[in-house]
């Protein structure tokens, strides 16, 4: 699972980083010293678990939660216990008090992992979703969806037989797609793993379409490939 640390305290960041690096199923994607930097990254990159400090200058952790567009498991970390009640109003996964011990970190992380796995299982039970295109409601089967491409305030859903232009964000579409089948490989592209024909020079080929792999998405994508 891809993680992000957001904390203006260097020592706290390093402790959480050490914990992540020593937990087998976690991968550290980004370490940020402020919430503004984190907010910009979260707009485009997939993060599963966010380890978030509450008290930071310019933008607090709670203020960052207010602007999050994409669901993510949030584990708040702070030295002030009084934030606990307010934190759970945002439905955070857990609340850790500094200095954080590994046993407590692991307990919170396990909770986040279970939530993600449950959501993935629920998504896997579905085999389709619906979109509104050209004044019609259209059923899109996952096994027919090749890739999704961003187009300003719209997305183009490319299937085996048709293309549908839908008023939506990439994040909105990404939330409807099961992670075991689909992956975002670029800020403008989501692809179906099962439809990939080849990968060459940081580009994916699907049905004669060459799709670039964004630099910030490369590591996550390569880690999910099933190499011999």
Tens digit of each residue's pLDDT (9 = 90 or more) over 99-138: 999 999 999 999 999 998 887 776 666 788 888 888 889 9
Percent of the chain residues past pLDDT 90, beyond the cut = 54
DSSP collapsed to 3 states, 154-198: EEEEEECCCEEEEECCHHHHHHHCCCCCEEEEECCEEEEHHHCCE
pLDDT higher than threshold 70 for residue 228: no
- Whether the pLDDT of residue 19 is over 90: the answer is yes
Domains identified in the chain and CATH numbers: 2-124 (3.40.50.2300), 128-224 (2.40.50.1020)
The pLDDT tens digits for 71-83 are: 789 999 988 776 6
pTM for the whole thing?
Answer: 0.61
């Amino acid at each position: 699972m891809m993680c992000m640390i957001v904390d203006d305290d260097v020592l706290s960041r390093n402790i959480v980083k050490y914990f992540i690096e020593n937990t087998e199923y976690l991968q550290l994607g980004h370490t940020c010293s402020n919430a503004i930097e984190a907010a910009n990254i979260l707009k485009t990159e997939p993060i599963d678990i966010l380890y978030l400090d509450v008290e930071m200058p310019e933008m607090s952790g709670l203020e960052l939660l207010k602007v999050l567009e994409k669901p993510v498991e949030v584990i708040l970390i702070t030295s002030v216990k009084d934030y606990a009640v307010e934190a759970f109003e945002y439905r955070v996964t857990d609340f850790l008090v500094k200095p954080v011990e590994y046993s407590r970190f692991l307990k919170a992380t396990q909770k986040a992992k279970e939530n993600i796995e449950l959501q993935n299982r629920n998504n896997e039970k579905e085999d389709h979703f619906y979109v509104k295109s050209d004044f019609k409601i259209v059923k899109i089967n996952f096994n027919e969806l090749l890739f999704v491409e961003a187009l300003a305030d719209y997305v183009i859903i490319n299937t085996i037989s048709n293309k549908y232009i839908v008023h939506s964000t990439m994040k909105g579409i990404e939330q409807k797609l099961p992670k075991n089948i689909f992956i975002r490989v670029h800020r403008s592209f989501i692809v179906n793993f099962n439809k990939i024909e080849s990968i060459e020079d940081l580009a994916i080929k699907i049905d004669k379409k060459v799709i670039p792999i964004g630099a910030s998405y490369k590591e996550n994508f390569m880690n999910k490939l099933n190499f011999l």
